[in-house]
């Protein structure tokens, strides 16, 4: 069992994996605050994620995501729900892993993720099946660097929270 210096849990995984929903339930269960990185970014810019991508492009989004992550990493205790691409940027991986918290990957097959994301408006990187699955495959090696992996397939968010709590991370 890994022991972590700081009482921080980072939730990571592809879009649609349930990071925000599980993050809120987990934060409630622990009595810790939730920092939802996409929400922080939207509040800081006064724009939706989609608008930020449309107005300024992905490289700009990654810059402000990095800045928001740098601030979020200082919080303790905290549950931090990352965006789907946050932990797939090598400098962010180092920042998160060096911060001393625990990283939990919410794993789910791409077919299930895709059905969850279809029809949702605020996911600028969700275009079609092929690009979705390609991006998923590109990111897998990063997600595999997480300290813990929880399979979310067939589990509701509360059950995922129970799985995370049973890890006895701290
Ligand atoms: C992104 C995922 C989104 C959001 C942005 C970029 C990605 O977060 O950060 O659209 O690169 O996969 P969710 O995983 O919460 O959808």
> Average pLDDT, whole number, for the chain?
94
Q: Cα of 109 to ligand 1 centre, how many Å?
A: 17
Please give the model's pTM, rounded to 2 decimal places.
0.95
| Ligand 1 contacts CB of residue 42 (under 6 A) | no
Q: Residue 73 — very low, low, confident or very high, per pLDDT cuts 50/70/90?
A: very high
The arithmetic mean of pLDDT across residues 161-166, rounded, is: 97
**pLDDT class of 125 with cuts at 50, 70, 90:** confident
Cα separation values, 121 from 48, 49, 108, 152, Å? 10, 10, 21, 23
Mean pLDDT of 62-76: 98
5-31: per-residue pLDDT in tens?
Answer: 899 999 999 999 999 999 999 999 999
Nearest residue (CA) to ligand 1, atom 15: 83
Q: What atom in ligand 1 is closest to the CA of residue 85?
A: 11
Question: Is 66 a pocket residue for ligand 1 (Cβ < 6 Å)?
Answer: no
């Amino acid at each position: 069992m890994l022991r972590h210096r700081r009482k921080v849990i980072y939730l990571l995984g592809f879009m649609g994996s349930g990071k925000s929903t599980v993050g809120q339930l987990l934060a409630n269960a622990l009595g810790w605050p939730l920092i939802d990185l996409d929400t922080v970014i939207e509040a800081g810019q006064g724009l939706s994620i989609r608008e930020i991508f449309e107005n300024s492009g992905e490289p700009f989004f990654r810059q402000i995501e990095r800045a928001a992550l740098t601030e979020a990493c200082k919080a303790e205790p905290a549950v931090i729900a990352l965006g789907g691409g946050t932990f797939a940027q090598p400098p962010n991986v180092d920042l998160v892993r060096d911060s001393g918290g625990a990283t939990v990957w919410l794993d789910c097959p791409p077919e299930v993720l895709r059905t969850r994301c279809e029809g949702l408006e605020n996911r600028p990187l969700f275009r079609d099946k092929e690009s979705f699955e390609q991006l998923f495959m590109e990111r897998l090696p990063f997600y595999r660097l997480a300290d813990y992996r929880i399979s979310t397939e067939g589990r509701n968010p509360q059950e995922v929270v129970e799985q995370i709590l049973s890890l006895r991370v701290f």
